Structure 1
Amino acid sequence: MDGSFVVPGTAAGGEWVDEVLLGGAAARVGLRLPEVVEVGKLRRLVRERQRELARSGLRAGGAAALRLPPSLAFVTYLLAVWRSGAQAILLDHRLTDYEVRRAIERLVPQVVVSPQRPVVAGLRTFVDVEADVASYSGHPASTSHAVVQLSSGSTGPSKVIGRTAQALVDEVLRYTKIDGVPLEGERVILLPSMVHVLGLVGGLLYGLHAGVELVPPARLTGDAIVQAIAAEQTPATVLGVPFHIGLLASVQEPPKLPQFKRMTTGGELVPAAVSQAFEEKYGVPLGNMYGMTEVGVIGTDLYGAHRPAIRPAPGIDVRVVDGELQIARPESPYLGLVDPARWSDGWLRTRDAGVVDAETGLVSIKGRLDSQVSVGGLKVDLTEVEYTLGTLRGVEAAVVVYDGAITAYLQLKERRETVRLEAELSQRLASYKRPRTLHVLDQLPRTTTGKLVRDLTVLRKAVP
């Protein structure tokens, strides 16, 4: 596609929505909520939203902030913003009013779209919501990005990240070249939020482009996910993050699901023991996807053939410099001043330790670079300690940090004495690698995308 075709603020700025996302037969199913929403209905709703946004002051080259829960309103307002040739600022509806106010004051959208009433979603993955469109300013967008997102902030404050419409289109087309993705006529059981990159591009945008039905389960429980898979006979792929594996694992005796094709997870790497247990229970592969908000999907292993390694996605150039995985990107993805510690000279620094196999090109993620600490002059990789804790019976999830000493925070799926866990760990890790303290929590803190939080302040507050 011609890059000028998708620049917000031009006469043709929104045409990519019709061409890439809302093309094809009007009767094609786009969403199943469980009522069917056909593409023809989506087109009509998007045009209605576009007129409403225009009446509230949104113009080509402007910006609209969306603070909506996963809903038909979110989908249609988002596409309407883009079809207007404007910028969509995505604000997770679970953010506090303070966080939202800070984002709006910084990014200055022309309109703000939010629910008319407080949303009590509970465990629902999609909700019915009436939106309020409020005029905010007359300023155009400060950048030509089509979407602005806040990073999940699992290790600290959120970053403000922008992506052009061309970058979104390129990623959607990249998905079409990955072996193992859902195909036209199949279904995606969509678990991650569409405010964040996996649910947005890997779910919503790719699904609309490829003719894949998007099916949010009625509730975010293991039983509801199984019911969503079983509801139709067409092949189904579950898209989620490692947290969602636990939901499916909680189903005691799942029925036979011949239509269950695979589960694909993004975010943190899944321990081998977890993936093996999942595959034995459901008889389908557990695929892995590695990516960042800044660039989208970077690499995949959808068949679980190379675990824990991944193969770079088509068109993605990677390299390793001083042990750090870096991704080619022509411009900085960050709004504001360019931080050379994160992007410089056309390369994005992931801050993930990695290795690229010279013969196969497979990439192995070795954990965060900031997870390597020195204990008594000896190097310890906290990722290794986390992984080993995860192999112990009864451990559902673990976070290991260094605050002058190695400290572990655990979430258990069965009751176990700490002394027993420490005894088993002593058989698997050298003494200098073992945590000085084990904190057992009912629930480990997580970000809105389901990632485990590693911020020391948050973890300390979670200890009873």
Structure 2
Amino acid sequence: MSSATSASQRADGRDTGTSAWVDELLLAGPDEEPVLQLGQVVDGAALRSTVQCFQQHLENAGLVRGGSVVLRLPPSLAYIGHLLAAWRIGAQVTVVDHRLTGRETDTALNRIRPQVSVTPDETVTALLRGYVDVTARYDRLAGVPAQSNHALVQLSSGSTGSPKIIGRTVSGLVEEMDRYRSIEGMPGRGERIVQLSSIAHAFGMVGGLLHSLHTGVLLTLPERVSAASIVEAVACRPESATLLGVPFHFELLTARGESAHLPQLARAVTGGERIRPDIAQRFTELYGIGLGECYGTTETGLVALDVLGRHRPAVGPPAPGVRVRIDEGELLIGTPSNPYLSTGQAGPWSEGWLHTRDAATHDPSTGAVTIVGRLDSQISIGGLKVDLTEVEQTLVALPGVREAVALFDRRITAYLGVAPGTDPDHIHREMRSRLAVFKRPRALYLMPELPRTSSGKLVRSQHTLQTAVARSRRPGETD
């Protein structure tokens, strides 16, 4: 039995957790070992001292074992310290992305009803910052204690509608940490992770933050969300570095148009949503390494991870301990209990399986899983089958088109994010030459950029996209 497993077992039961797993698995490194780099380097002793300080503040605010707290902090030492401190108390932590609007946050809090809120003491503008220095404010709310044994509560991305409320137990988080540690190519002690994806979301939190603390990897956050700052973060220290990001970050890095001499860059992994094949190829050409890919869900965490990019277009076989099956083309993931917290909300979970709505194939000889699109992207027009994923990929390949979303509501409508100066007529002509008549969007909207969720995924809500169209005022209709 591993120390991680024994720690998670001690934290099982009605309580949301104990200090044991935090101390034994996340804060157990040597005093002088560097663990975080947010501008300044934070070693093990300094992190433990910070967590202890924040734990006292949370307890003074009324947080107790079995209580509930919401964190709405930007990426910062304060965010990391409060997350660990609340878990150390044994409280249930709801993480709300700081980039959500006030209305979105209020909607979530009305459903979750935490007892304590931790927010920045003053307004923070950090849209292009990799991390910030922030002072926390503590508010007691008219909430309720934790109503389940989940240690972590998160919101789904909400890319297609209202976000779902999802819970993760201590044992589930620890098992996922063990899965990451067992994957070939994941960085270990003495190496670095340069974290680009949000540490408030599943991939960045567990694959980046918790894995780093668990294994003695130095977690580095770049100063800014820009190609130059990312390159600087990789080059600033001699240890080998692994980039963890979402497609948006690798689009930034390939848009530089010039190769970078980065002998420290050993690996790069993208997650969150599928990356365009041309971006993956261009990244390899510029930086000399394959681009790996991670597939997972907020509900289950890591499902499959190809760190070295050897299995593309597959994302590799399921991680150890993960059960998958294909049912009528849909990927199902074994999930023993309902991960959704809302009363009566089973969502896409039933009888021990999470229905992902992702169309996938599973190679029985290699175990490799390949995500081929969304099931809800496959439609029928006049008896002819159309895959909206294919339509999107064709549109993105057109000159000047950076991103695309295709939706169907009695007709195909496409929303394009285009470069400045892109000629709409040229897009229309190219589209006609590449898509059959029945596959062509009947309505085509061009915008400087498409709306994204706080985790960087393209929004697929028709209402949100139409609102963005109205603001951009650049509509165009196809024939």
Q: Which category of TM-score, normalised to the shorter sequence, fits these structures?
A: over 0.9
How many residues align structurally? 464
Are positions 1:322 and 2:312 aligned together?
Answer: no
Deviation at 1:371, TM superposition (A): 1.0
Query: 47, 50, 53: which one pairs with 2:52?
Result: 47
Q: 2:10 aligns to what?
A: 5
Q: 1:285 aligns to what?
A: 290
Q: 1:122 to 1:349 in 2, by over 3 A?
A: closer
Q: 2:450 aligns to what?
A: 444
Q: 1:316 to 1:336 in 2, by over 3 A?
A: same
Q: 1:425 aligns to what?
A: 431
What is the CA–CA distance in structure 2 between the aligned matches of 1:195 and 1:17, rounded to whole Å?
17
Identity %: 48
Q: 1:409 aligns to what?
A: 415
Are positions 1:157 and 2:168 aligned together?
Answer: no
Q: 1:51 to 1:307 in 2, by over 3 A?
A: same
2:35·2:217 contact (CA, 8 Å) conserved in 1? yes
Worse-superposed segment, 147-156 or 6-15: 6-15
2:159·2:461 contact (CA, 8 Å) conserved in 1? yes
Q: 1:262 aligns to what?
A: 267
What is the CA–CA distance in structure 1 between the aligned matches of 2:460 and 2:438, rounded to whole Å?
21
2:254·2:279 contact (CA, 8 Å) conserved in 1? no
Are positions 1:217 and 2:222 aligned together?
Answer: yes
What is the CA–CA distance in structure 2 between the aligned matches of 1:99 and 1:414, rounded to whole Å?
31
Query: 335, 343, 347: which one pairs with 2:349?
Result: 343
- What is the SS of the residue equivalent to 2:361? strand
Q: Which runs of 5+ in 2 are unaligned?
A: 474-479
Q: 1:354 aligns to what?
A: 360
Deviation at 1:423, TM superposition (A): 3.0
Deviation at 1:308, TM superposition (A): 1.5
| 1:242-257 → structure 2 map (5 Å cutoff) | 242-257=247-262
The one-letter code of the counterpart of 1:352 is: D
What is the CA–CA distance in structure 2 between the aligned matches of 1:269 and 1:230, rounded to whole Å?
27
Query: 194, 209, 212: which one pairs with 1:207?
Result: 212
Query: 366, 390, 398: which one pairs with 2:372?
Result: 366
The one-letter code of the counterpart of 1:269 is: R
Are positions 1:173 and 2:175 aligned together?
Answer: no
Worse-superposed segment, 447-456 or 299-308: 299-308
Q: 1:308 aligns to what?
A: 313
1:366-414 deviation per Cα after TM superposition (whole angstroms, max 9, x unaligned): 2111111111121111011111222233322111111321121112346
Worse-superposed segment, 240-249 or 418-427: 418-427
Deviation at 1:164, TM superposition (A): 0.3
Query: 188, 198, 208: which one pairs with 1:183?
Result: 188
Q: 1:230 aligns to what?
A: 235
Deviation at 1:292, TM superposition (A): 0.6
The one-letter code of the counterpart of 1:63 is: S
Query: 57, 75, 81: which one pairs with 2:80?
Result: 75
Query: 118, 127, 138: which one pairs with 1:133?
Result: 138
Q: TM-score, normalised by structure 2?
A: 0.93
The one-letter code of the counterpart of 1:161 is: I
Query: 457, 463, 470: which one pairs with 1:457?
Result: 463
What is the CA–CA distance in structure 2 between the aligned matches of 1:67 and 1:20, rounded to whole Å?
24
Worse-superposed segment, 331-340 or 87-96: 331-340
Deviation at 1:76, TM superposition (A): 0.4
Worse-superposed segment, 146-155 or 88-97: 88-97
What is the CA–CA distance in structure 2 between the aligned matches of 1:143 and 1:29, rounded to whole Å?
35
Q: 1:11 to 1:270 in 2, by over 3 A?
A: closer
Q: 1:123 aligns to what?
A: 128
The one-letter code of the counterpart of 1:451 is: K
Query: 300, 306, 309: which one pairs with 1:295?
Result: 300
Deviation at 1:9, TM superposition (A): 6.3
What is the CA–CA distance in structure 2 between the aligned matches of 1:323 and 1:341, rounded to whole Å?
19
Query: 5, 30, 33: which one pairs with 1:28?
Result: 33
Q: 1:384 aligns to what?
A: 390
Deviation at 1:205, TM superposition (A): 0.3
The one-letter code of the counterpart of 2:150 is: H
1:8·1:60 contact (CA, 8 Å) conserved in 2? no
What is the CA–CA distance in structure 2 between the aligned matches of 1:352 and 1:129, rounded to whole Å?
38
2:268·2:308 contact (CA, 8 Å) conserved in 1? no
Deviation at 1:428, TM superposition (A): 3.1
The one-letter code of the counterpart of 1:440 is: L
Q: Which runs of 5+ in 1 are unaligned?
A: none
What is the CA–CA distance in structure 2 between the aligned matches of 1:268 and 1:138, rounded to whole Å?
34
2:269·2:292 contact (CA, 8 Å) conserved in 1? yes
Are positions 1:110 and 2:108 aligned together?
Answer: no
What is the CA–CA distance in structure 2 between the aligned matches of 1:459 and 1:370, rounded to whole Å?
18
- What is the SS of the residue equivalent to 2:434? coil
Deviation at 1:261, TM superposition (A): 1.3
Q: 1:146 to 1:322 in 2, by over 3 A?
A: same
What is the CA–CA distance in structure 1 between the aligned matches of 2:83 and 2:13, rounded to whole Å?
14
The one-letter code of the counterpart of 1:154 is: S
Deviation at 1:243, TM superposition (A): 0.7
Deviation at 1:142, TM superposition (A): 0.9
